[in-house]
Structure 1
Amino acid sequence: MKKGRLFKHSLLVRLLGLLMVFLFLSAFTAPEKPEYGIYDPDHYLTDETISQIRELNNVNSKKSEKFQMGVYVVKSLDGETIETVANETARAWKIGYSGDNHGVLIVVAVEDRKSRIETSNNVASKITDYQTNRFLKTARPYFQKGDYSNGVLSIANNLNYMFYSGSSTTASSSKSSYDYTTNSSRLRELERYAGERSSSRRHRKSSSSDGVIVFGVLIYFIVMIIGFLFGGRGSRGDDSGGGWWGGDSSDSGSSWSDSGSDSSGGWDGGGFDGGGSSDDW
């Protein structure tokens, strides 16, 4: 009887543990990086647009300062915020080149009518949040008409132009629809304000993420303690290294690097801490 009671306690603890794991794993998970870093499962983009963005990345890979863009276009965010989707995807895909970390991700959610540009920290020093917001607003008329290809291409060209316009190498082949003749003093003022807001937002996001991690660790240890108290006296035939948390857990995040390889290289960057801006239409 006592043995049966212990078995029930052990089973309950394991089920509770599985529930906790499910709750933490049920958050957004970025899809595997597709070929050329352009995710468009519902085919909103034309082949020509995909080719042009691919060519931009290919040309940039041969420059001393390498700049890489990823694109993520979906029908719906499925209840997630576009900021979460953009940041998690940019991190998972490792957009950019190791050492440079000059990567951006363009995100468009069609039914949610939202768009976002996610910038790495190093790109943010060249392209401010204010400027990315202007690029999104420039693309807004295209999105309103359902022309997602030209909208995304407009953003990509503007990003590419702005990244290289301040260096010796210019993206002269990329026509920009953005009005760069804006009053310079006003532009600097707005950029400074946008930079301060971005820094504050990244700090808040970091604090929030730390809180979630701490909470998750606490839950894990609570479950482990309960398991020790109630489930540790089970059958002596149990594998001491087993349990519901046991087994060989390979790193699922490493599999994407073998798929969708691109001759332009890259996809080993990082430094995404929430920079960029969002828009809706």
Structure 2
Amino acid sequence: MPSRSPAPVASAKGARARHQAIKELPRSSARAAIEAPVCGTMRDYTQAAIVLRHFLKTAAVMLALLTAYATLAESAVDVRSLPKPTGYVSDLAGVVGAQDKQQLEQFCTAVEQQLGVQFALVTIDSIGDQPIRDFALDMAREWGVGIKKDNQGVLLLLAIKDRKSDIETGRGIEPYITDGFAGSTLRAMRPDLQQGEYGPALLTAAQSMAAQIAQGKGIAFTGAVPQRRARPPDRHPGIGIPGPLILMGIFLLFWLLGRGGRRGGGYRGGGGGGFIPGLILGSMLGGRRGDDGWRGGGGGGFGGDSGGGGGFGGFGGGDFGGGGASSDW
């Protein structure tokens, strides 16, 4: 039988020869021939990883943008959605005390009555990422602060959480409250605002602007609401007997007088029959009489409870051109 042992030897020699031939080729060619399948597979994986990485980055950016947009949409405040003003002071943030608010209402009433200027003093929790100048201008126009014929209105806005402030001046008030004066007024409020004293801060600004307007108009501004004439205390306070009892007393008086006249054959001046009914009637009438006829309370201020004459009757449709200033604290 022919021997088969030389075959493996020949095969091994052939493999060595091929390996030697590959080594003798240029290095780049040898690698290309040997590593081509492996490099092709790795290249595919690398390209896929790059594409996936770009996709994830793009998705992350889009998600961040959508989240930011949603947050901005939720935090943005629409002026038209806010409650309509019911006084000169709109404390939407709830940071002004009751006593401070009453004092501000009284002062703003005096400003309108004596200077013909309407003040709108507003606090709000936050306006989001909106520029406070744009927001305040929209509010001033939407509310129509000031009388339409002369556009003399001023809006002062405090955004509490944003720690921002703004003054908007109507077209007719710009000659008196310049942009520079508005800015200095806001800066003068900072000490009170930094201490959380929002009521005093608003009063400081209102007094400063009112004094400036009064000086420009040549008006002696007192800063006080005109008071109704005070009624002196009753000299005969009485007991306040109701009207029906008074009528009954009058009827009883004439009845007693009639009986007395019939008994004595005439009316005796100064007699007991006339004195006692007169005393009773005088006592009853004294309880209702005062120097002004009837007891009454003072009016004035917004809602008629601040002690002055007159009060807030609504803003009058004033227009704004963008004058004023903004600041922060």
| Aligned mates of 1:171, 1:277 — CA distance in 2 | 24
Task: From 77, 90, 97, give the equivalent of 2:140.
Answer: 90
CA displacement at 1:110 relative to structure 2: 1.2
SS at 2:221 equivalent: coil
Partner in structure 2 of residue 118 of structure 1: 168
Partner in structure 1 of residue 318 of structure 2: 270
Task: From 115, 135, 156, give the equivalent of 2:185.
Answer: 135
SS at 2:165 equivalent: strand
SS at 1:83 equivalent: helix
Partner in structure 1 of residue 85 of structure 2: 34
CA displacement at 1:100 relative to structure 2: 2.0
SS at 1:123 equivalent: coil
SS at 2:149 equivalent: coil
Give unpaired runs (5+ residues) of structure 1: 1-22, 175-259
One-letter amino acid matched to 2:155: L
SS at 1:62 equivalent: helix
CA displacement at 1:46 relative to structure 2: 1.5
Q: In the alignment, does 2:110 pair up with 1:62?
A: no
CA displacement at 1:112 relative to structure 2: 0.9
SS at 1:35 equivalent: coil
Structure number with greater CO (CA < 8 Å, separation at least 6) is 1
Deviations 1:133-163 (A, max 9, x none): 0010100111111111111111111111111
CA displacement at 1:44 relative to structure 2: 0.6
CA displacement at 1:27 relative to structure 2: 7.2
SS at 1:39 equivalent: strand
Residue 265 to residue 27, structure 1, CA distance change in 2 (3 Å): closer
Over 4 Å off, 4+ runs? none
The number of equivalent residue pairs is 171
One-letter amino acid matched to 1:84: D
One-letter amino acid matched to 1:38: V
Partner in structure 2 of residue 20 of structure 1: none
Q: Would you say the 8 A contact 2:123–2:160 is kept in 1?
A: yes
TM-score (norm 1): 0.56
Q: Would you say the 8 A contact 1:103–1:269 is kept in 2?
A: no
One-letter amino acid matched to 2:135: V
Q: Would you say the 8 A contact 2:87–2:314 is kept in 1?
A: no
Task: From 71, 93, 96, give the equivalent of 1:45.
Answer: 96
Partner in structure 1 of residue 123 of structure 2: 73
| Aligned mates of 1:137, 1:170 — CA distance in 2 | 26
TM-score (norm 2): 0.48
Partner in structure 2 of residue 159 of structure 1: 209
Give unpaired runs (5+ residues) of structure 2: 1-72, 225-302, 305-309
